[in-house]
Structure 1
C-alpha cells in the first residue's frame, strides 16, 4: 500500500468510527508504526482535512454539522446523567469549556458521542487524580454539542432545561468566544 492509499484509508477509518481512534490502533490496522500515523495525520491536515486530536485519539472534525454551545450546571455526581442525556438524543459533546474569572476560557476536547464514550470518560476521571474541569467554576461549564440537525439540538436544549441543567448565560457570555 502506498502512502497516499494509507492516508485515504486513515480518513475512511476515521469517518466510519463511532469515536476516536488512537494512533496505536490505526498503526496496528495499517501495519505501520505509530510515528508513521502521526506523520500521515500531519500530511492529511495539510491537504485540508480537519482532524481533531483528543486524549483518546483522532476524530474527523464535525465543524460542518449543526453546532450549539450550552451553558450548564450540575453536581459532579450528575455528570453521567448529563452526558447520557445528550448522547441518547443524538448529540456529540465536543468539549467542556469553563470561563474562569482569573484563568480565562479553558477548553478541553471530549468528543463523547455514545454511552460507551461516556463510560470511558468517567472511568478516566475515576482512575486518575483528576477531577471534572467544572469543579473550578462551582459546576458551571459549557459544552459545544453537534448533531445531525437543529431539531436534535433543540431537543437537547429542552431536555437539559427539563433536568435543571441548562443555565442562562450572563450578558458578557452571550457575545464571547464561547459560541
Structure 2
C-alpha cells in the first residue's frame, strides 16, 4: 500500500471511530511502525485535518467540510438568485473559476456563506468595482461549494439544476 493510500485510509479510520485510536493500534492495522503513523499524522495535519493526540489515542477534532465543483451558467441578473440558492441551503461558495481559451484557468476566492455576503458581493458588482469573472467566458463558470454533508450538496445540485443554472457535461 502506498503512503498516500495509507493516509487516506488512516483518516477514514480515525474519522469513523467513536473513540480515540492509539498509534500502536493503527500501526498494527496498517502493518507499519508506530513512527510511520506519527509521520502520517503530521502529514495529515499539514493537509488541514485537525487531528488531536490524546493520552488514549488520536481523534479528529472536527469533520472536514465536503466540497463539490459545479459548472454553471446564468445571466448577470440571475447571479444573486444563484448565490442565494446555494447559501440558503447551507452551502458556502468558496470560489469562482473559469477556463479561458487564451488566458487559461483563472480563479478568485469568494467565501460567500450568507445572504449578507451575497448582498455585499452584488453591491460591489453593481457599484462598478468589478464585473463578474463569468463574463469573459460567455457566462460559463465553476464554483467550488462547501457544505456539511453530501446530502446538502445533492440538494444544492438539484436546486441549481431545477433553476437551469447547472451545466451537465456529456
TM-score normalised by L of structure 1: 0.59
**1:129 positional shift:** 4.3
SS of the aligned residue for 1:155 comes to helix
Q: Does 1:82 align with 2:68?
A: no
Map 1:164-179 → 2, pairs under 5 A: 164-169=164-169
Could you tell me how far 1:116 is from its partner in structure 2?
0.2
Q: SS of 1:64's equivalent?
A: coil
Cα drift, residue 168 of structure 1: 1.7
What is the 5 A alignment of 1:4-153?
64-153=64-153
- Work out the number of aligned pairs and report it: 112
Which protein has the larger Cα radius of gyration, Structure 1 or Structure 2?
Answer: 2
- Structure 1 unaligned blocks of 5 or more: 1-46, 51-62, 171-179
Partner of 1:163: 163
**What displacement does 1:126 show?**
1.6
Q: Aligned residue for 1:19?
A: none
Secondary structure class of the residue paired with 1:95: strand
Q: Which runs of 4+ in 1 moved over 4 A?
A: 47-50
TM-score for both structures, normalised by structure 2 = 0.62
What value does the CA root-mean-square deviation take over the aligned residues? 1.9
Q: Which residues of structure 2 form unaligned runs of 5+?
A: 1-44, 49-62
